[in-house]
A and B are shown apart, each in its own frame.
Chain A
Amino acid sequence: MKSAFNVRHLVSVLLVAGLLLLPLYSHLTGNVFVLTLFTRIVILALAAASLNLIMGYGGMMSFGHAAYLGIGGYAVGILAQEGIGSGFVQFPVALAVSAFYALVIGALSLRTRGVYFIMITLAFAQMAYYVASGLARYGGDDGLTIYKRSDFAGLINPGNRVQFYYLCLACLLVVVFLIWRIVNSRFGLVVQGLRSNEQRMQAIGFPGTRYRLVCFVIAGTMCGLAGALLANNTDFVSPAVMYWTRSGDLMVMVILGGMGTLFGPVIGAVAYLVLEELLSQVTEYWALIMGPLLLLIVLFGRGGIMGLLGRLSRG
């Protein structure tokens, strides 16, 4: 047990070190593409980490998590369009709107469990997708181009590739740190207890839905941050970022890396997106391989990469 833990720690430390040093590698080799790719990976890893909070620790199988990517993104995009360019306004608004959406959707969906919850979160995210498509003033189906990235009054320049990468990485690390604190806190133990056995938790005096809802809102807010970053990264936001397959991608990252582990979703995001990148270089029809691969991972890859690391070092 002990050694398994250490291997996981080691991999997590190496991962963080690698992410920290990546701009250096990009600078030395002159490979700009790798930095662009990894900026996207870091942002989606942040989204996956937030999904892991509700899915892995809270047992809430949300299939609508990409909605927050869109909501955070549209908050930035719409404010920019209306002439409010300050990141100190855009980002808090993005987080607040995401939190509010999570509160409403959570309060409705958490009335149900299991498959219902999966279907309902999926349906509400699809609703958000259609609403965004209907926003004719903000590009509708075609999406909204963001002509100027968030302005942080000279503190950070999001237009600078390296600075923006480090901004995203810092956000990811802070979020992972917060999740680490949360899951070990009183609140976190209650949420994990509810995942394990709701009846027992109610019998000892915990009102389950209240705790679940707060957790749902925290995760949604965190993912809203990822959305705001993503919009800055692509200088563009469109309904497509909240299409349901994007939510599926996020789920896959969490499962692939290892649900309910701290760095699992980060590893999962790196693995999934790098794999996608490599496959798409080999063949145009990469999904033909990716699809069945997912099936195999589900059938044989219990616990994801983190689970595998655990088994390897034990065996």
Chain B
Amino acid sequence: MLLLVEQILNGLQFGLLLFLLAAGLTLVFGIMDLVNLAHGSLYMMGAYFAATFVAWTGSFVLGAVLALGATLLLGMALEFTALRHLYGRDHLDHVLATFGLILFFNEAVRLIWGPAGLALPLPPWLSVPVQILPGIYYPAYRLAIIVVALLVALLLYLGVMRTRIGMLVRAGASNREMIGALGINIKLLYTLVFGLGAALAGLAGLMQAPILTVQIGMGENILILAFVVIVIGGIGSIRGAFLAAIFVGLIDTLGRAFLPNLLRQVLSSAAASTAAPALSSMLIYLLMAIVLVVRPEGLFPASRR
């Protein structure tokens, strides 16, 4: 019971991080029609920035805020120098160009921070367990991730649904010419949206940093999971990304935690311990395959026609 609650919370926390990544990806794709593989690099940069700034300032919160700003700026700079030339091009061109950017970022990180990877220590006030239910404790930091990510998701939802910028963003997703006709500075809007996506990725990276090590290539595996989220949720849909991310986070975490034991009840112990790791890592891809068979356009497609 205790383990189950803890694992559910872990799954929720992982799912929310996936959402932050997937939201940026799907925004950028929906509005600029750009496939950005280097999104995972921004996640990595967020983590490296955080590790560096926290060490410099000595304050976790200040460092995190600085890192967030830095990723935002980096994203906007990236859009300004490179990615805006890719708008309107083939998706294949996007894939290759941003693949090149990944190589670049990985190597740049190796050059600047070295190959070893960094640790981002938690401040004492975040590393204590909190009693969430009578007798059930959960790490304060993971709880904080859940709260922050939920807040961001809420802000994002309100921002897209209620504000003027959000209206433009939604209009852009369905009708690019219209924005131009409204006399909006479309280039600036795109740069801002990309920066926002980058900041979301950076936030996910910096929040994940104290839990895992900060290392080169850390953004790549989670980026592919974010793709799975988008495929399951339906491309271009923030709501779909949110639900699918939570779903994937839970399935992946719970699968890894409980599948080995479940298998042991059906298979011999040796066979179970051989099959379990492979099977539990396949779980979400199997889920994706099932979604593809049942609803190829995703569970919550953006268009409501």
Q: Is the CB of B278 within 8 A of A135?
A: yes
Which secondary structure dominates chain A's binding surface?
Answer: helix
Q: Is the CB of B281 within 8 A of A299?
A: no
Q: Which residue of B lies closest to A293 (CB)?
A: B100
Q: Is the CB of B282 within 8 A of A287?
A: no
Task: Given A127-B281, A130-B282, A287-B103, decide whether A118 and B35 contact each other with a Cβ distance below 8 A.
Answer: yes
Q: Encode B77-103 as 1/0 by CB contact (under 8 A) with A.
A: 000001001100101110111011111
Q: Is the CB of A124 within 8 A of B103?
A: no
Q: Shortest Cβ distance from B293 into chain A, in angstroms?
A: 7
Q: Shortest Cβ distance from A134 into chain B, in angstroms?
A: 3
Which chain B residues border A115 with CB–CB below 8 Å? 29, 35, 91, 235
Task: Given A111-B292, A137-B274, A285-B107, decide whether A118 and B96 contact each other with a Cβ distance below 8 A.
Answer: no
Interface presence of B285 (CB below 8 A): yes
Interface presence of B206 (CB below 8 A): no
Q: Is the CB of B230 within 8 A of A119?
A: yes
Q: Is the CB of B231 within 8 A of A252?
A: no
Q: Is the CB of B97 within 8 A of A112?
A: no
Task: Given A120-B231, A294-B99, decide whether A288 and B107 contact each other with a Cβ distance below 8 A.
Answer: yes
Q: Is the CB of B277 within 8 A of A298?
A: no
Q: Is the CB of B281 within 8 A of A131?
A: yes
Which chain B residues border A291 with CB–CB below 8 Å? 100-105, 107
Q: Shortest Cβ distance from B281 into chain A, in angstroms?
A: 4
Q: How many residues of A contact B (CB 8 A)?
A: 44
CA of A253 to CA of B238, assembled, Å? 35
Which chain B residues border A122 with CB–CB below 8 Å? 224, 227
A contact set with B: CB distance below 8 Å:
55, 61, 63, 108-109, 111-112, 114-116, 118-120, 122-124, 126-127, 130-131, 133-137, 244-245, 248, 251-252, 255, 285-288, 290-295, 297-299
Which 10 residue pairs of A and B lie closest in terms of their CB atoms, listed nearest first?
A294-B100, A291-B104, A134-B278, A291-B103, A130-B281, A287-B107, A127-B285, A134-B277, A119-B227, A287-B103
- A115-B235, A298-B100 known; 12 new pairs, CB 8 Å cut-off, are A63-B95, A116-B231, A126-B221, A126-B224, A133-B278, A133-B281, A251-B96, A252-B99, A291-B103, A295-B82, A298-B89, A298-B97
